[in-house]
A and B are shown apart, each in its own frame.
Chain A
Amino acid sequence: MKHLTPPRWADWLLERFVAPHLLEDVQGDLHEVFYKQAEDAGLANARRSFVWAVLNYLNPFFLKRKPEAYSKPTNTTMIRNYFKIAFRNLVRNKTYTAINVSGLALGMTCGILIFMLVKYHLSFDTFHTNSDRIYRFVTEQHRETISYRANVPSPLGKVFRNDYTFGEKVARIATAEDVVLTVKEGSEIRKFKESEGVAFTEPEFFDIFNYPLLKGDRETALLDPNTAILTEKMARKLFGAADPMNKLFRLDNKVDFRVTGVLKDLPITTDRKSEIYVSYNTLKQYNDWLASDDAWGGINSAMQCFVRLRPGVSPDEVEKFLPAYVKKYRPTNKNVHHYKLQPLADIHFNARYGGVITKTNLWVLGCIGLFLIITACVNFINLATAQALKRSKEVGVRKVLGSFRGQLFWQFISETGLITTVAVGLACIASALLLPFINDWFKVQIAVNPLADWQFMLFLPLLTLVVTFFAGSYPGLILADFQPVMALKGKLSQQNIGGFNTRRTLIVGQFAISQVLIMGMIVITNQMRFSTQSDLGFNKDAVVMLPVATESNVLTMKTLKSQFSQIPGVQTVSVCQSAPASNYNVWNTSPNYDNRAEDEAFSVSVKAADEQYIPMFGLKIVAGRNLFPSDTAKEFIVNEMFARKLGLKASDEVIGKALSLNDGNTKGTIVGVIADFHDRSFHEDINAICITTAPDLYASYALKINSATVQPTLAALEKTWSDRHPDQVYDYQFLDEHIANFYATEDLMLKLIQTFAAIAIFIGCLGLYGLVSFMAAQKTKEIGIRKVLGSSMGQILWIFAKEFSRLILIAFVVAAPVAYYAMNAWLKNFIFRVDLGVGIFISAIVGTFLIAFITVGFQSIKAALMNPVKALRSE
């Protein structure tokens, strides 16, 4: 009978698995059946059915143990206790909790937002297949200085494709921006103004870039002239819900297109913003010069050329062949053009070629985010160590009852973890609420979809973990190190906790950075005020700029001008190429003065305008006279800078001299000289200027209006303009707004630095508050004794003031040179700039003092007013 046993392992499994209070009879029953079967059906069968029966017991019902009367402590019991105690502590010290949570939440909000921003920028154009082999042709123009253009002469792409085999695919794309589209539907005509414009695109473009086509054939969609493909979004905008295929639209009242394909909406993270792609061979109907195969003469900012190189071809190799083109096609020009290849991954980040944001700036942002999180953690450490003394009894009892150092440490970490988790939750809510503003400020479109974003979902727990350990470790170690005897006798004092100097250093660091930011803020504000409010040399207030419609001729402009001037509220009307200060519509050319043999080495900015221009903008004539009204005869007015650049002693010497522009195509006499004015932003020096009548260049009506009746005047202007040009889109801009736009980057910078300064100061103040509570606790006895011996309240307050004045002064000594150096470098961007005066530094330190004293004031006064009996009787 001895060999008649069920499989040992099955028995073992059963014993492991089935709850002890059920095991005996279950096992007994199974064995009984086994023996019975072994006799009836044979051992093998019995063993098989035994195993099968045992396996059937492996379910939760049998696993569940009977609860025991006296529960054994498990791993989770202590942790539950930690959280319970932590929760009670946090609820008891509400101020402390609020300060910690808000500080951490603020720092982490910045951290989260900056993380999202940086990630957003890093994800640009990374979704194309073989994106490491995609390059853009760019041009370096070597003149007095090197200038960088993201464009090449239009024929370059074509000849490169034909001459060399380096490129797997080569695609040219010419973007016409600010266009008007018209869609005719029956008798109804709808107009759309598209600022992102229309891109004339070679079909290979869609081989290089991964923009999938939903409808239409990728191979043939853009082969024929006058064909177009739209994104879904654009198709909905133009044609509503109807099927856009084979629908027609008209571009700038010039060229018609038929829709042959629909693109999937472009991802947000791509630098190609155009949503309308039309066939490249239509370009000659739109802009003959740009489409020409001989247009080697100039570079148009509309034209870009992309290439996907063959595998294994390095860009350096290709660049060696490019200079040959300059020799071949531009034999008469000086060796100005240098064609290069720019990797796709560089396009978003290279400011030289119009990149959106540089990697350096992203790094700076990242560091600021990191810094803000670190300061928040530092505060936490400050406050937590200041609070540690209150916990000494608890630690003492725990140690006496057998807690290890490790357990106490983990207890504190779990407490920190609780605070951090709450803070992270708050930070997430705050980030979600702030995201629209961030999108607005940075002109980005970060979507609120954290769940679909694994990097973000990884970042959050990681942030929580790192912050918990960074903030919780030091206070945790201090708490865990308390001597139980000392702690229970109440003999512990702040001296035993130590680290006071560490905390001082941290505070100094925080304040140094706050002060750098404050100084930066003051300097940028000053410079912005200087740029936008100082006298530019012309009158920019209450000037409205209206566009000259594309089909206008001399007559329409004259009619419209006289119609405008009849509107009450309009004081003067001028028609011109651009305002005195403008970033676009400026024509730079090399002048030929007084029949000198060679063109001058400098370039002159030509501003075409009528005779009303100079009086209307209040430009000061220093010699000669204003232009005569004329449509043909060429008269020039130049500025003093022009005369100076010519090397003349007196500016009136130029009057009556001949001037020839544009290789002799525009000739005339100089009749007047005007005083210099700022024709560009303050980043740039004043250019040599030349004003002349040239109706074919006019692009804007400039109207001086009465500032008391702006709204009715604007309405009347719109009506007059739209009646004259029913198929165009009306648009207006105030000149001072346009000028303010020169400083959009600085404006963003100012907003940013204001925000960061505010946050840094706030966090710094939290830290200061922590330190002063700490000091107040530490000096309780000292203050008591001093008061008993007759100190006045002022003297006691001075104890605190002394400490903080010292810290802020040290911080200032650190901050001032850093701020000076940084702001000096920043101001170098401006030719016309404010001085870095002593005032800036004085106001920064006074401001910091003020804020610091408000912060510490309450705690110090409370400490100073305390009854000395309370402080002293405890011994």
Chain B
Amino acid sequence: MRRSFLGEFEEIVLLVVAACPAEAYGVTIWEDVQQQTGRTITMSAVHATLYRLEEKGFLSSLMGGATAERGGRRKRFFALTNAGVQALNDIQEVRSRLWQAIPPGKFQLIGFKN
């Protein structure tokens, strides 16, 4: 399979889905993403990303039961697939390897406390 890469926003959305304690669907994910990042994000961006991640195989979705509060429309619940977990792990690994590769004291040189 051709390997799909994750964009920054995709990664955040994927992480939010992973971090969600309850069943994750559009609205909750949207709210969490805004809360976690502190950015204002349109719902369409979140939806587009969710569907794209699903196309890439990192997420799976399932339609829930009929609801009362949204005109009877069903919710689409998202869950991580194995590939999604794998992808997040890969990213994490690359990041930590890179972090460890940073020579000690380098950040102090440019004025950061490490």
Contact = CB atoms under 8 A, between A and B. Distances in A.
Contacts of A57: 44, 47
A402 interface: no
Contact of A28 (B48, B51, B74): B74
Interface in A29-73: 29-33, 35, 52-53, 56-57, 59, 61-62
Interface string A133-144: 000000000000
A31 B73 contact: yes
B70 to A, nearest CB: 4
Contact of A59 (B44, B63, B67, B76): B44
* Highest count of chain B CB atoms <10 Å: which of A26, A28, A61, A62: A28
B105 interface: no
A32 B44 contact: no
Nearest to A34: B70
B94 interface: no
B70 A32 contact: yes
Contacts of B71: 27-28, 31
Interface in B62-109: 63, 67, 69-71, 73-76
B43 A30 contact: yes
B43 to A, nearest CB: 5
B3 to A, nearest CB: 22
A53 B41 CA distance: 10
A31 B27 CA distance: 10
A22 interface: yes
A29 B69 contact: no
Nearest to A53: B43
Interface in A711-768: none
A19 to B, nearest CB: 10
Chain A interface size band reads 10 to 19
A31 B48 CA distance: 17
B113 to A, nearest CB: 40
Nearest to A35: B69
Given A25-B25, A29-B30, A53 B42 contact: yes
B67 A28 contact: yes
Contacts of A61: 48, 51-52
Contact of A24 (B43, B44, B47, B73): B73
A27 B63 CA distance: 14
A62 B44 contact: yes
A751 B43 CA distance: 76
A56 B45 CA distance: 8
Nearest to A31: B70
A56 B42 CA distance: 7
Given A56-B43, A56-B44, A25 B26 contact: yes
Interface in B21-67: 25-27, 30, 42-45, 47-48, 51-52, 63, 67
A9 B37 CA distance: 32
Given A22-B51, A33-B27, A28 B44 contact: no
Contacts, number: 62
A28 B72 CA distance: 8
Given A32-B27, A32-B69, A24 B74 contact: yes
A25 B78 CA distance: 12
A35 B67 CA distance: 14
A26 B47 CA distance: 7
A212 B42 CA distance: 59
Contacts of A56: 42-45
Chain B interface size band reads 20 to 34
A478 to B, nearest CB: 52
A29 B48 contact: no
Nearest to A61: B48
Contact of B73 (A28, A33, A53): A28
Contact of B76 (A25, A31, A32, A53): A25
A784 to B, nearest CB: 65
B59 to A, nearest CB: 13
Contacts of B43: 29-30, 33, 53, 56
Contact of A27 (B44, B48, B67, B73): B73
Nearest to B48: A61
Contacts of A31: 70-71, 73
B70 A35 contact: yes
B34 to A, nearest CB: 11
A35 B70 CA distance: 8
Contacts of B75: 25, 28-29
Contacts of A25: 25-26, 63, 73-76
B67 A53 contact: no
A468 to B, nearest CB: 44
Nearest to B67: A28
A228 B31 CA distance: 81
B49 to A, nearest CB: 10
Contacts of B26: 25-26, 28-29
B60 to A, nearest CB: 14
Contacts of B69: 32, 35
A29 B73 CA distance: 9
A50 to B, nearest CB: 10
Contact of B70 (A28, A52, A53, A59): A28
Contacts of A29: 25-27, 30, 43, 47, 70, 75
Contacts of B25: 25, 29
A607 to B, nearest CB: 93
Given A25-B63, A26-B26, A35-B69, A53 B74 contact: no
B48 A62 contact: yes
Contacts of A59: 44, 48
Contacts of B27: 29, 32-33
Contacts of B30: 29, 33
B16 to A, nearest CB: 15
A487 to B, nearest CB: 50
A27 B47 CA distance: 11
A25 B61 CA distance: 11
A26 B48 CA distance: 10
A56 B30 CA distance: 14
A25 B73 CA distance: 7
A35 B27 CA distance: 12
* Highest count of chain B CB atoms <10 Å: which of A24, A32, A56: A32
A37 to B, nearest CB: 11
A53 B48 CA distance: 13
Nearest to A30: B43
* Highest count of chain A CB atoms <10 Å: which of B27, B45, B47: B47
A43 B70 CA distance: 16
A46 to B, nearest CB: 13
A57 B26 CA distance: 14
A31 B75 CA distance: 11
12 contacts: A24-B73, A24-B76, A25-B74, A27-B71, A27-B73, A29-B43, A31-B73, A33-B43, A52-B42, A57-B47, A59-B48, A62-B48
Given A31-B70, A32-B27, A61-B51, 7 more contacts: A24-B73, A25-B25, A32-B69, A53-B42, A57-B44, A61-B52, A62-B48
Q: 5 closest pairs, A vs B, by CB?
A: A28-B73, A29-B26, A25-B76, A56-B44, A28-B70
